[in-house]
Amino acid sequence: MGLIKRFTIVQLSLLLAIVFCGCGSTVKISDYYKFNEINIFYFQNYNNDSLKLNIDFNGSHRYIDLNSRNKVKLEPDVKKSLKSVAYLEKLKLFFVSKSTMKKWGSSYSCFLIDNKNLKYNKQLFTERNNILISEVFHYRNSANVICIKSIDDFSLVFLNSLYKRHPNRTSDEMQDDSLYLTRNTLTEVSSLVSGSEFAKTVSKRRKILDTINAAFNEVNKYFQPVTILESLDVEPYKTLKSFYYQALLTRISFLDDLEKLYRTRMDYITYLSDTNSKEEMQKKGESKISKNILDTIVTLAKANKVIMVNESHYDFRHRYFLYNILDSLYSNGYRNLCLEDYKNYNNQLSSFPQRKDGFYIQEPFMAQLIRKAKLLGFNIYPYEDTTGDINNYSSLIEKREYTQAKNFYKLYQADSNNKWIVYAGMEHVNKKSFMTNYQSFCMYFTRLSGINPFVMNQTNFSLLSNRTDYLINKPTGYYYFEPDSSNHNNKQADLYIANNIYQNPYLDIAGFQFEPTKKYRIVPQSETDRACKIFVYISKEFDQIGQKAIPIYIGSLKEHESLKLRLPADEYAAIITDENEKIIAGSKIHIEE
């Protein structure tokens, strides 16, 4: 039991497994398997409390239950790899999992061994931070020991095995991106096992992960999730930070607080050690859209049956762009709008967007986009992948991209006489590749339909960290590159769009008004004697479902501060709340045409 006291947490992204067939040596099952636990969040997490072992991994995973086994047979390749480092009959298996792919995949397994039965083969391993790590991965139907860590009289052996190579990957490539260690795993294996502070706080880490996940998915509050996330200290937990920043950015983006969103985005870039080279606009071919935006879009719309537009999920300016061109697209035969993440929407029953319709639907500008589309007469459809079976795909990524394309193609076939707009996140609309190794939703749709969509990319040059000089002296609005000069990102899109909007458009921005036929009125000045929150709802929606409706504007007011907004003609309910979003005052506002 000395091991239980001394064995500190290891961050193990292990979705690992050995194929239990074929002839060869057998290994015993350790009793420690009884303490294994798998959690699925933004990434997947393996932990074993008795061994004080905790490891993060990415990918689709099938955990192998060892409960009914006393011993497990090893495949020849697995046996060969293990024999070089240990006496097989002395190994005890306590964790094993494999990719969910039927046709190809890799696996991981974890063994416990007495140090006196361990054989270090220096030709196979290099030493780093007191861990022996294999130098080369040979993915040719083989197995490789990833690392061996000695703890007092015991050692951990982590093994990666390939049970069938992906037919489209070369032998020296990671063949199964659906199952791999997070990038910090080996570093954390070292720090955790050696008794670091990280190792001593695994329970706190789990609570932080639970908190991030809960705050990210919160649908009843807008400000509270941001407050909760900002209070967390994630510095000791490197593998949580990417999820943390994405959750925080998304939650801030629902509010009128671009400065905070910008600062957080810059912190995220710093964490990623990102260069801003991808965000620097190439001046060649730059053309202004703002004043002539409708004419430009009309020209593009007439020549195409399908337009795809992308967005960053935490940047309202991308939704506002599509909002402003919907009229022109409708007048040119576009009748159908497909939205990512609109899983619960019913085109016939939903008279207005609600928070329950989808996570990103809660964002005010996304809801306003949907309201306008319905008012114009668009049919609105979801096309998200909601299937669970992954057995016929090489990865979850491939499954989602292909299934989205298949869903959209089925919708398109049912109404091919009218034109379609598809609105998606980031790289899903890429025309040449998705995340380097995969085909995108757009590419799969082209293959299925024979149609080449016109793709507009807003994310390459319109990230919130884009406050560079190239639009510094230009009027607020949207700008684009001529298609022939758009060599950016290997021409993944037909048109690249940038903007220099750094303020909520419902605030009074001089010279920035895309709907000149509509008059705007000022929300009556409202002074408060304490800091508060303000929510402006469409009155008929608020009257039906109260604070479960999606506001058109969400902001904060300091003590004795007033707020002036320009809003489209409608009936509104302006609600003042305390910090916990409890209503303390409210008024109805009528804005005429």
Give tens-digit pLDDT for 541-586: 999 999 999 999 999 988 777 778 888 888 999 999 988 899 988 8
pLDDT of amino acid 253: 93
In sequence order, the 6+-apart residues with CB closer than 8 A to the CB of 371 are 352, 353, 538
pLDDT, position 172:
40
Bridge partners (DSSP) listed for residue 309: 423, 456
Return d(Cα 581, Cα 192) in angstroms, integer.
Answer: 41
Q: What is the pTM of this model?
A: 0.74
**Count of Cβ atoms closer than 10 Å to residue 414 Cβ:** 9
What's the pLDDT at 337? 96
User: Rounded to an integer, what distance in angstroms lies between the CA atom of residue 469 and that of residue 280?
Assistant: 9
Q: What pLDDT tens digit does each residue of the chain (593 aa) get?
A: 333 333 332 323 332 333 333 344 788 998 888 888 776 655 566 777 677 676 666 666 677 888 878 888 887 777 877 887 888 888 999 888 877 665 566 778 888 888 888 776 666 666 665 566 664 444 455 677 777 776 667 777 888 777 665 555 444 444 344 445 554 455 445 444 445 444 455 567 778 888 998 999 898 999 999 999 999 998 877 667 888 999 999 999 999 988 899 889 888 888 876 433 344 444 434 444 444 566 678 888 888 999 999 999 889 999 999 998 999 999 999 999 999 877 665 655 568 888 888 888 899 999 999 999 999 999 999 998 888 666 567 667 788 899 999 999 999 999 999 999 999 988 899 998 887 667 899 999 999 999 999 999 888 877 665 555 566 677 777 877 655 554 555 678 888 888 888 888 888 654 455 554 455 566 655 556 678 899 999 999 999 999 999 999 999 988 777 778 888 888 999 999 988 899 988 888 888 77
The kind and range of the H/E element at 54 are strand 53-59
Distance CA 574, CA 198 (A): 47
On whether the CB atoms of residues 241 and 269 are closer than 8 A, the answer is no
Confidence (pLDDT) at 140: 52
Neighbours of 588 (CB within 10 A): 11
| Cα separation, 255 vs 546, whole angstroms | 19
pLDDT at residue 2, rounded to an integer? 39
181: left (phi over 0), alpha (psi -120 to 50) or beta: beta
Distance of CA 28 to the CA centre of its chain: 40
Residue 86 half-sphere exposure, CB side, CA atoms within 13 Å? 30
